[in-house]
Amino acid sequence: MRTLHPSPRSGFTLTDLIIALATIAIVAAFAVPAFFNRSEVTLENAAVLLVKDLRAAQNRAAYLDRDIRVRFAEDGTKYWIDDGLPGEEDFLERDYSVDAVFRGVRVEEIAGAGEGLVFERRGTTPQGARITLTYEGDERIIVIEKDTGRMSIVGTTSGFADPGY
């Protein structure tokens, strides 16, 4: 006759899991900032985000059938999209200086846009523009074509392609 003996439990103890989670947290604490501190990651993502925000302004101009203005701060750390609707705040505000992922990114130059970029009622821009973003000595240039409003990023490393509006 066989005797039944309880088998020893197999698996992880609570202590094992806590040690594993602590190790993962320590590695992530060093790896995540190091990854986002790379110029090609931070600057590329900031440029793509700016293009997407500009596309939102362009679409909003066509949807609302009104001119939409994009204004940039003098120090290059933030921009606003103003749809001009009475009694409302800006449609969108982006501040690189308070967003830890983009801290250090600056809008260095806005060529062709004067005091701000305007998307007309059809979603096009009459003047076109070149917006230069910089981060740690690297740069990306966003080109907005005159009349069509089509956008491209010069120096892109992500293969970003503007699908149009």
What pLDDT is recorded for position 40?
Answer: 67
Return the closest-CA partner of residue 151 out of 159, 115, 160.
160
Residue range 38-90, pLDDT digits in tens: 566 788 888 888 999 999 998 889 888 888 888 888 888 899 998 877 776 77
Q: Is residue 23 part of a domain?
A: no
pLDDT in tens, 85-127: 777 677 888 898 887 678 888 888 888 766 678 888 888 887 7
The structural domain count of the chain equals 1
**pLDDT classification of 142: cutoffs 50, 70, 90:** very high
* Domain-located, residue 111: yes
pTM above 0.85, yes or no: no
pLDDT at 7 over 70: no
Q: Give me the residue label for tokens 């793509």.
A: 48
Whole-angstrom Cα distance, residue 92 to residue 74?
17
Q: Domain of residue 45: give its range.
A: 39-154
Domain CATH number, residue 100 = 3.55.40.10
Please state the rounded mean pLDDT for residues 26-30: 83
Q: Is 153 helix (H, G, I), strand (E, B) or coil?
A: strand
